Structure 1
């Protein structure tokens, strides 16, 4: 059995309920691949299949009309089958994160994204995450889908990651990509062992609403005149 690491604590395997737990908002509309009696299904969805136990992932339509190739939505010993499209039953609360999605943990300090390699039920919906730059050869991690948010490569590329320095001070200005802080900036100090986010008041990280105010926070940190306003 392959070893899996779970982010955020252990996941306990339990019996499968009649409907799954919720996931995260999708990155955007996906192209429909099959339509049945008004129902639109697409690859990556997790569904029930009439006459079969457990949850099933839609892999691809076919072969032939009115047929889907599916795989059991579990981590080990996945089973592939071909089923009639008429047997597919959409889950009322299915996970919205799918295989191939680019995701980040829903914390404002997160900077790195992962690609979802699979979604499975382990007492809750979990996603197997892989480094998008590893070519599939790096270690896989697991995370509960309700801790993840779908992002795009364009969002990551647009986020500010700015190196700053002054005298013996070294730091970074980093823009949040996810959570309610998305678009805001924090300033990280690396000029001493154990240094981290710059906090204007106490231990709470100071979030800045603009890049200019983040630069002012850095100036204050390295000896500027006065603290500056931060985002609430």
Structure 2
């Protein structure tokens, strides 16, 4: 007799389960086609009447008709077949879950480990802050010397709004950008894990560098103008 056979590799019940819905031989207590735990349609060949309707409606062309020896099964054999197939599906699903769990379960930290990790993170933040402030201060001093001589404070310069302004202040901005960019390289040299730093951490580094750069450059410029 002819029975339906489903090719598992082609079956895609996530998008379609027409064969389950429209099988004319299926009953509520004895489904001919059902969805197993592996999300694939399965045929109970002993119940299939060989109508071939599922072959026509399958959009994936995953079903074909095959020939099996003619034999009318007993109800006990049908129940045994269904139970056996369900157990097989459960074993397959359990094996898939085992493969998915590649990472070991996360171990809970002890109070001592939490304190040690907290101290380690605090020490790392202090080092990062010191680096950003140190680079910002150095960048401010370098910017002052590279930006040129400040304009004299005269009446005409004050009216023009250029009193005390250096000739090439854009150089200072470039120096600031260099001071911000090289911090990642310094962190890698000091073995600070940059992968754990988020956007807020990098914003903090840039802000502290900018603040100390601005303050040190302004202080150097003010001192120069006062002495002049």
Task: Identify the TM-score tier after normalising by the shorter chain.
Answer: under 0.3
Structure with greater contact order relative to length (CA < 8 Å, sep ≥ 6) = 2
Question: Given the two structures, how large is their TM-score scaled by the length of structure 1?
Answer: 0.18
Question: Given the two structures, how large is their TM-score scaled by the length of structure 2?
Answer: 0.18
Larger Rg: 2
More helix by proportion, 1 or 2? 2
